Amino acid sequence: MEKKETISILAFGDSLTCGWSNFGTEHFPYGINLHKLLTEKYPEKNFEIQVSGISGQKAFGMPPRMKEEIKEKEYHYVIILAGTNDLSQSYSAEEIFEQISSLHEIALKSDSVRKTIAITIPQAAADSHFKDYLEKKLQINSLIQKLVDSNQKIELVDLYSLIPFSSPSENQKDSLWNDSLHFSSIGYDKMGELIFNVFVEKIFN
């Protein structure tokens, strides 16, 4: 039997990457559904997904961790979602984006990394209450879009546009959201599906 090609993927970020839910008592990383969907679609390949998400970590603290991740293992694709925890700080949109951009730069310097996937900062309850918070988020997401447009080795998942925020309630058992910032297990599965679509349409096409 011919040996399967192994595809190694790093899912890198904060609580939205580790799948934080129910006040941190449960975790539903999007990597689980992404692995399931990729394996079903491409049975001839062996997928390995490493989830590296630290709850509460800011983009400003991530570059050293990315360097360590890339040093420890050879990855073919790196998915990056960062910036959510920086929005309420005094950093400008440009300063936060510079940190996010550096994560892609660090990953792409690795000989094994073929592409990175940039994820825009998703919607949240605070968007409708704090104008400056929303404006900063939109500026960062616009800069992420420009980064993707300028580099053929970076693909985009526009999570902000693809999953609109809706306040979860006890009556919404199928809600994509668990609280004012984090997804439910269904929401994280949806996130994995959206990333899967990029692999199908842009990477393995």
Tens digit of each residue's pLDDT (9 = 90 or more) over 158-196:
999 999 998 776 555 568 999 999 999 999 999 999 999
Name the nearest CA neighbour of 57 among 29, 28, 99, 23: 99
State pTM to two decimals. 0.95
| Domains identified in the chain and CATH numbers | 5-203 (3.40.50.1110)
Intra-chain end-to-end CA distance of the chain, in Å: 25
Instruction: Compute the distance between CA of residue 129 and CA of residue 163 in angstroms, rounded to an integer.
Output: 18
- CA atoms of 35 and 60, how far apart (whole Å): 28
pLDDT the model gives residue 3: 83
CA distances from 51 to 3, 13, 29, 81, 103 (A): 25, 9, 7, 12, 16
pLDDT (0 to 100) of residue 170: 56
pLDDT for res 168? 74
The answer to which of 7-16, 47-56, 146-155, 161-170 has the lowest mean pLDDT is 161-170
- Counting residues of the chain whose pLDDT is more than 90, the rounded percentage is 93
Give the chain's mean pLDDT.
Answer: 95
Q: Are 7 and 74 in contact (CB under 8 A)?
A: no
